[in-house]
Structure 1
Amino acid sequence: MVSSSQQARIHNAATLISEADGLLITAGAGMGVDSGLPDFRGAQGFWRHYPALRASGIRFEDIASPVYFPERPELAWGFYGHRLALYRNTTPHAGFQVLQQIASQMPNNAFVFTSNVDGQFQKAGFAPEQIVECHGSIHHLQCTETCRQDIWPADEFEPQVDMEQGRLVNLPPRCPHCGSVARPNIMMFNDWHWVDTRSRRQHQHLQAWLKRTRHPVIVELGAGTAIATVRYFGERQKAPMVRINVHEATVDKGTKHVALAMGAQEALSQIRIALEKLGFFGCK
């Protein structure tokens, strides 16, 4: 049940959106929760999904780093291989479609800035040229030795993971140039060898979009403060923002920003209803 005060905030969010000429979607890990994806809130949340790593005392910050790939690729790819298969098999929740419906009514459509590496926006139908994946993508690979600044799709790699042991049981992918073990093209913790050429090209598309979009509205979804890349990016844009976050939905007082302490799918569904009442859809 949505309270009357929440309804008022949803109406305010819809009003901000209706006044914009482009939708800037900024998304963190909380965006995928309604699709059934884990967000690893704290060590216990991470270990609940990966009990084999709990037994070894390996934290998220340890396994989500490049250190294990050269010497223990079966362990590194046990974690990332499971995530790759999980993301391939996950269906984006209905909120993604609401965002596309909203964007379709705007002159400059939408652009996505996300720290998520799961590829869910592409899977939901957003074009690659309208997405920045600021931490890279698990669906692309690079050489662990960075023998070249090369990035290639992970499509041919089918990980087989023993979850009881937390280990990859088939062969890990290899660099086609030097034969070293390949790793995901993701910016990890303490990572000095991430190849960022793909991300830099995405940023160029974003800058072109921002230049032609005079009155964007930001819809921020599930972006937390622990790793605040997405939040900082959105706040730097100096545009009206709708912040949707179950746990951290505060905004600065005195701004036009709206805070909704809700999950992404529920909030977007309610915003869509409010936009319908404003006559937003079909007005393009």
Structure 2
Amino acid sequence: MSREMDKLKNALAEAEAVVIGAGAGLSASAGFTYSGERFEKYFGDFIEKYHISDMYAGGFYPYETLEEYWAWWSRHIYYNRYVDTPKPVYSRLHQLMKERNYFVLTTNVDHQFQRAGFDKKRLFYTQGDYGLWQCSKACHNKTYDNEETVRSMISEQKEMKVPSELVPSCPVCGAPMTMNLRQDDLFVQDAGWHSAAERYREFIQNYKNRRILFLELGVGGNTPGIIKYPFWHMVNEWKNAQYICINAKEAYAPEEIKDRSICIQADIGEVLCQLDIYGKQQIQKLHINSCFFDNE
């Protein structure tokens, strides 16, 4: 790991720009797990009644009423969007990046980059946002902030149901509202989505022939066409580009770009912690050396 830390440190130091590609593994490393103890803590009643296996599966369950549907989803939204992650992985990443020229491309929908302090203008959430609702029929290209209503749903739900008056409906056509998540061809890409997409495109174009570092964190094989494959392609095409992949389970690169890749199969949070410790040790060494030479 020490050798890999050296390579990672040097790659970051030499890069003129860093593009972070973040997948579900980053949030999992930060403690946002969708099964196990955390799932049982917040959804025990749903597990008992419907034998739901995890949070992901529960989002597709055919609940009998909208009141029950929104009891589930209000909890899912609240505990994965409006609270901080149990572990400071995002804040460590922000500390690493805040003085650098970066842009974030992510399939995560939990808003944790912004909660950690990342610049909103440097983020592109390609797959939606737990904090937004849209018309279930996509009758118009607009999304709606849900925080106030979700908090009311959390505090007022009883027996696995929210009050009927809190069930949201489209202000244009009257159809039920739904999550602004890319699940089918009805996903609404609003003005904010298109603005973020354009900022990402401009960032890539500005640094395509310069020392650009593609830092892939926790990206799996579900949607490789959004982050993984484009990163590989750009590194292969641009000879000054480098690729870093940190993943607890799958850290690899194609043969064509292996000479400009660093692949670390480990927990992302642990790597960032080690990098932070490593950086502090280097600063301490520099300070000691400086004092030594001053004394001479």
The TM-score range, normalised by the shorter chain, is 0.7 to 0.9
The one-letter code matched in structure 1 to 2:8 is: A
Per mean C-alpha deviation after superposition, the further-off stretch among 162-171 and 250-259 is 162-171
Structure-2 change in CA distance of 1:161 and 1:249 (3 Å): farther
Matched, 1:183 2:183: no
Matched, 1:269 2:273: yes
Structure-2 change in CA distance of 1:147 and 1:53 (3 Å): farther
* 1:82–1:161 Cα contact (<8 Å) kept: no
1:173-207 CA-partner distances (Å, limit 9, x unpaired):
2223333321121112xx22110123232110101
Identity, % of aligned positions = 22
Matched, 1:235 2:232: yes
The one-letter code matched in structure 1 to 2:137 is: E
The correspondence for 1:199, drawn from 186, 193, 196, is: 193
* 1:29–1:222 Cα contact (<8 Å) kept: yes
- What residue ranges of structure 2 are gaps of 5+ in the alignment? 236-240, 284-296
**Between Structure 1 and Structure 2, how many residues are aligned?**
266
Per mean C-alpha deviation after superposition, the further-off stretch among 255-264 and 168-177 is 168-177
Per mean C-alpha deviation after superposition, the further-off stretch among 231-240 and 27-36 is 231-240
Q: Which has the higher contact order (CA 8 A, sep 6+)?
A: 1
Match of 2:294 in 1: none
Deviation at 1:58, TM superposition (A): 5.9
SS of equivalent to 1:160: helix
Match of 2:205 in 1: 211
2: CA distance, partners of 1:209 / 1:270: 29
Matched, 1:153 2:153: no
Structure-2 change in CA distance of 1:265 and 1:247 (3 Å): same
Matched, 1:135 2:127: yes
Deviation at 1:151, TM superposition (A): 1.1
The correspondence for 2:33, drawn from 25, 38, 59, is: 38
Matched, 1:77 2:74: no
SS of equivalent to 2:19: strand
Structure-2 change in CA distance of 1:209 and 1:40 (3 Å): farther
2: CA distance, partners of 1:92 / 1:233: 31
Match of 1:247 in 2: 249
Match of 1:222 in 2: 218
5 Å matches for 1:161-180? 167-168=161-162, 171-180=166-175
2: CA distance, partners of 1:142 / 1:99: 31
With structure 1 as the length reference, what TM-score do the two structures score?
A: 0.79
Deviation at 1:168, TM superposition (A): 4.2
1: CA distance, partners of 2:34 / 2:229: 19
2: CA distance, partners of 1:268 / 1:180: 45
* 2:232–2:254 Cα contact (<8 Å) kept: no
1:186-240 CA-partner distances (Å, limit 9, x unpaired):
112xx22110123232110101111222322122211111343432343233131
Deviation at 1:271, TM superposition (A): 2.2
Across the aligned residues of Structure 1 and Structure 2, the Cα RMSD in angstroms comes to 3.2
The correspondence for 2:8, drawn from 5, 13, 18, is: 13
Structure-2 change in CA distance of 1:272 and 1:236 (3 Å): farther
Match of 1:282 in 2: none
1: CA distance, partners of 2:40 / 2:67: 18
1: CA distance, partners of 2:119 / 2:156: 34
Q: Which has the larger radius of gyration?
A: 2
- What residue ranges of structure 1 are gaps of 5+ in the alignment? 1-5, 280-284
Structure-2 change in CA distance of 1:12 and 1:136 (3 Å): same
* 2:30–2:86 Cα contact (<8 Å) kept: yes
With structure 2 as the length reference, what TM-score do the two structures score?
A: 0.76
The correspondence for 1:117, drawn from 93, 109, 112, is: 109
